[in-house]
Structure 1
Amino acid sequence: MRIGMFADSYLPDINGVVTSIVTLKRALENDGHDVFIITTHPSLIHTSYEDRILRLPGIEVKQMYGYVATAPLHVKAYSIVKEMKLDIIHVHTEFGAGIFGHFCGKMLKLPIVSTYHTTYEDYTHYVNVFNSKTVDVIAKKTIERISRLYGASCEAIIAPSQKTKDMLLRYNIQRPIFIVPTGLDLERFDPHLSDPERLKEIRDLTNAKQNDKVILFVGRIAKEKSIDFVIDGFRHIKERGLPVKFLIVGGGPEMDTLVEKVEFMNLKDTVVFVGKKPAEQVPAFYHASDAFVSASLTETQGMTYIEALASQLPVFARPDDVLTGLIEEGKNGYFFRSPQEFAQRVDEWLSIEEDRRLQMRLDARKQVDVYDMRSFSKAIAAVYKMAIERYTNTYRIESVMIKDEIAEVSASNRTDKFTVMMLSDVCLTRELVKGKMVSEKTWEDYRDDEKVAKAYQAAIRKLAVKDRTKREITDFLNENTDCTIVQINAVIGHLLQRGYLDDLRYTHSMVLNLRSLLMGKNRIIKTLKEKGIEESLINEAFSSESQDNELNLAIRWAEKIQPTIGGRSLMAKKQKIRQKLLLQGYESTIADQAMTFLSFENELVQEKQNLFKAALKAANRLSRKFTNQKELRMAIKKALATQGFKFSDINEVVEEMELENESKNSE
């Protein structure tokens, strides 16, 4: 593989990140990979490229231990990176060169892996010069947002420890996070490789006597390293009269402050600063010492702890999650929680037998075999491979447009562009933003989301015409879309949530409308049940109505239809009205009561007229069947009787009738 590593610092700088990058570069190259370093150097405009190391121009920030701040965009450097023909980008910082790495990854369509080396939330004091709680909160929130933003554009994130992974998960970073402890070239820290004369020179720097012990610190002289905590401990060590020197290797913004502190506490003969040293000289300082100490609680892994153990030094440290499984109390080191307890632990260490101290040195070396750089590089290469495979089958979201509850999401992979639409709520739940990478399988899931969105739009159009019930829309979607029942339920859920569907509201509205049409309760209930309305909702809609209202509506309906029923007997008319009341949905008892409120005076007046008309119709119809006058008259009477006319009236009218056959016979 051709790997581009982007970092804000590199050799000749010395820190844990640089050590990690140098170790990884060497191990990957030993395995046959091509590694390119893209880093910074203090220059306003000059970009240099030599021996596969591209240095970006930047401004050195003295108060941040020589950190070089660089711009996120470099036209000339981008052209050089393009010519590297990289397979993958590995960023080791969230700022400067790291932002440039993300830019190169986007423009060159390359997968990005990020290693989170630094717990930036522990470094907010650099921007919080007035020690303001508000500024501190804002700074930490900003770090969280930046970490989440750049994490979203990575295919994988590497955390040196479980502590770091837990922090990233707390930031809600939705990317695969792999715990890969930073490897070390363990052979560099073999004590037998150091020149005895050089070791004597180093010990002489502390004015240590033959039986004195030297405890070492290596690292940046900065506030977050809590070196002042250790110096306070050496005041108690001196008070106890313990023969121990404190050797501090490194430089940084707190150097002057700590030197003044040592002078003020009268510890110049005990605490010695030797400044910043080249990386190749650092192992000798470990080998010239008898133990290592650090009170830092801001490490993501703690490379200097591992270097010390690899150099066969027992370690004094404050308890921290990052040290779980690395430091074992009394076996290869000691924990302390206060300066006084640190002095006490040193006293305990000095009091044990020499052979026990020798065993602690051997145990220290055994503890770091797992950090061998060969295992480290193979684990990182496996992450690279996964990231490349993931990226090849991954879509990058190019845009997200939301309008009228529908989101249109456009994405592309290395060869094609695609667009899907989905409900805006689904888009927000999935946290789809420009630049986010999604797998091919996930994109196919979005196709299912599109089905739901289109079905939702169809349902909205249907509801725009008139209100519908949940069952009606469900049946409509079943018949007119290819959505599964799960997807249809999702559409129904969204419609319910937005208030476009509401069976209770529909029920109240329907009851009101149907009541305005003078419809009875039974027919309304039947109509609503056919539309899928639950009985409980129907009961609730009718709960406020009284029996008197039902009767009043029945009377109104009967009065409305009474004039429309003519040409029949009073009895037949009453039966017809009652029948229509029942068909309109009124109970039989309500119908009977309603009939008692009707006036039939006009019908009584018209009764004989209606009877005569009915008799003529019957005679006309039956005369073809009956030629015998007596039989014909009897048939007419029976027909009229079935229509509800009174028998006395029937006899009177029929007997007075002059039938057609009789007229012919008289002629």
Structure 2
Amino acid sequence: MKIALISSGFLPVVDGVSVAIANRLQQLSRQGHSVLLLVPDYAALGQTYPDWQTHVGSILPNVKVVPLESNPALGLAFERDVKPKAYRTVLAELGAFAPDIIHVDEPERLSFCLLKKPGIAYARQHNIPCVGFFHTHYIDYIDDYVTCPKIFTAGIQALFKVLFAWIYNSYDATLVASPTTYQAVCRMGIRNAVQDDFLGFDAPSFWAVQRQPHFFEQTYGLKNLENTVRLVFVGRLTPDKGWGFTCHAARQLIKAVNPADVSLIIVGDGPLRESLEQDLGSLFTHVHLLGRIPPQQMPALLANSDIHVTASAKETTGLTVLEASASGIPILAPRAGGVVDYIYDGQTGFLFNPQDPEDFVQKLRFLIENMTVRQAMGAAGKDHVIPYSWEQAVERLLIFWQTKISERTREKFQTTLHSPPQPPESGGS
């Protein structure tokens, strides 16, 4: 199969979209499929990502990554968005590659950047399927970034719902990975949504790792963590990830547990880093912000932690939830968004009521004080995520892609079959 992927982001940026695509490429290459990936150019972020060049060109057998001209993204120093004029490159690369199907990750973000719905025109011209993948609840982020009366915020959100539905309904399908997200996109007016377990985790890497003594001291130079309960937070340090609630709840947590008995390990970067370091550092003895961690280091880091904590209520799936369960540690997460589909409340972790610091503290304190419960939940989590390996997730995606290709082939045949015969050309004397 020849597959063209167009994405709003890729490595070296580490987030749910880029990690998903990187794992998808590994599986597709291993199975011998030909893949073209079009992504923003990260050359301008060479100081932030000195290894950016390792993620462009022929990075795997049968996989070619083409960078597209880009601008700074949303005012964030560590991301890029494609420029409108990059659309010419998109069309040229698609024309040279001649894909069987086009798959677009985050078409709403790309549409706003390119000022065109990516892949649609080419797919219609060449009569091939073109599908989109819904990764991010951007509409829900408006509350975190726009300061204005609620009535105006609601109006902005309503407008974007209409725009996003218009964009996604232009595709042959909108793929989503969680049942909760499926319900959300249907409420937005997206009529072509298809839900399946299209996302996963790197099972061989996570299952191969064991806990090791003094891991954080030997790997990251962090001392005196062995006798603490290690809480690991993973995600961008931006307002949409619920850090405001985390800091608020932390002030109550220190009244319920001895702060010296707990260590906070935060993986990720963003504009809130300095304020988080100051706010949380004033409450706990052990607060360590590790910045960006390469995906290949995450299995060992999670396996040597004790509890994965997130306050983000706007995740569509939350790959780190799957990864934490695969690492054998329990999860504390809000009862909101797509994460609820991947946590068995009371069995593989706890769900707390969103924006309820008392519920958060009560459940986190219980996990901190009960090692046997943590171990039992961790073991249950490993069993729970068995169906979510990337191998299985990509196989589901391939089956779906092939179904759409076959449908289009039948449509072409039916059109040809029912077309009136053309009269023969008359010969001249």
2:96 maps to 83
Which structure has more helix as a fraction of its residues?
A: 1
- SS of 1:363's equivalent in the other structure is helix
Q: Does residue 164 of structure 2 align to residue 147 of structure 1?
A: yes
Deviation of 1:260 after TM superposition, in Å, equals 3.9
2:69 maps to 57
Alpha-carbon spacing, 1:133–1:325, altered in 2? closer, same or farther (3 Å) = closer
Quick one: which amino acid aligns to residue 90 of structure 1? H
Deviation of 1:244 after TM superposition, in Å, equals 1.0
1:366 maps to 383
**Larger of the two Rg values belongs to structure:** 1
2:320 to 304, 317, 320: 304
1:68 maps to 80
Quick one: which amino acid aligns to residue 380 of structure 2? D
- Aligned residues with identical type, % of pairs: 22
Quick one: which amino acid aligns to residue 15 of structure 2? N
Quick one: which amino acid aligns to residue 246 of structure 1? L
Quick one: which amino acid aligns to residue 14 of structure 1? V
- SS of 1:247's equivalent in the other structure is strand
Deviation of 1:134 after TM superposition, in Å, equals 4.3
Q: Distance in 2 between matches of 1:367 and 1:91?
A: 29
1:409 maps to none
1:258 to 264, 268, 276: 276
Alpha-carbon spacing, 1:346–1:203, altered in 2? closer, same or farther (3 Å) = farther
Does the 8 Å contact 1:191/1:287 carry over to 2? Answer: no
Alpha-carbon spacing, 1:299–1:416, altered in 2? closer, same or farther (3 Å) = farther
1:189 to 198, 203, 206: 206
2:130 maps to 112
Does the 8 Å contact 2:181/2:316 carry over to 1? Answer: yes
Q: Does residue 242 of structure 2 align to residue 226 of structure 1?
A: yes
Q: Distance in 2 between matches of 1:278 and 1:199?
A: 16
Does the 8 Å contact 1:392/1:413 carry over to 2? Answer: no
2:182 maps to 165
Deviation of 1:415 after TM superposition, in Å, equals 11
1:269 to 285, 293, 304: 285
Q: Distance in 2 between matches of 1:194 and 1:82?
A: 49
Deviation sequence 1:216-260 (CA, Å, 0-9, x none): 011111111112322333333323315111111101233233334
Alpha-carbon spacing, 1:127–1:318, altered in 2? closer, same or farther (3 Å) = closer
1:285 maps to 301
Q: Distance in 2 between matches of 1:357 and 1:172?
A: 41
Q: Distance in 2 between matches of 1:96 and 1:63?
A: 14
Quick one: which amino acid aligns to residue 266 of structure 2? I
Task: List gaps (5 residues or longer) in structure 2.
Answer: 45-52, 59-63, 112-116, 421-429
2:361 maps to 343
1:246 maps to 264
Q: Distance in 1 between matches of 2:144 and 2:79?
A: 12
Aligned alpha-carbon RMSD (Å): 2.9
Deviation sequence 1:76-112 (CA, Å, 0-9, x none): 4422221112110000012454633334334443211
Q: Distance in 2 between matches of 1:107 and 1:188?
A: 42
Deviation of 1:312 after TM superposition, in Å, equals 0.8
Does the 8 Å contact 2:230/2:306 carry over to 1? Answer: yes
1:378 maps to 395
TM-score calculated relative to the size of structure 2: 0.82
Q: Distance in 1 between matches of 2:419 and 2:268?
A: 52
1:318 to 306, 331, 334: 334
Q: Distance in 1 between matches of 2:103 and 2:89?
A: 20
Quick one: which amino acid aligns to residue 75 of structure 2? Q
RCO (CA 8 Å, sep 6+): is it higher in 1 or 2? 2
Does the 8 Å contact 1:9/1:18 carry over to 2? Answer: yes
Alpha-carbon spacing, 1:209–1:386, altered in 2? closer, same or farther (3 Å) = closer
- SS of 1:66's equivalent in the other structure is strand
TM-score calculated relative to the size of structure 1: 0.55
1:39 maps to 39
Does the 8 Å contact 1:203/1:289 carry over to 2? Answer: no
Quick one: which amino acid aligns to residue 284 of structure 1? A
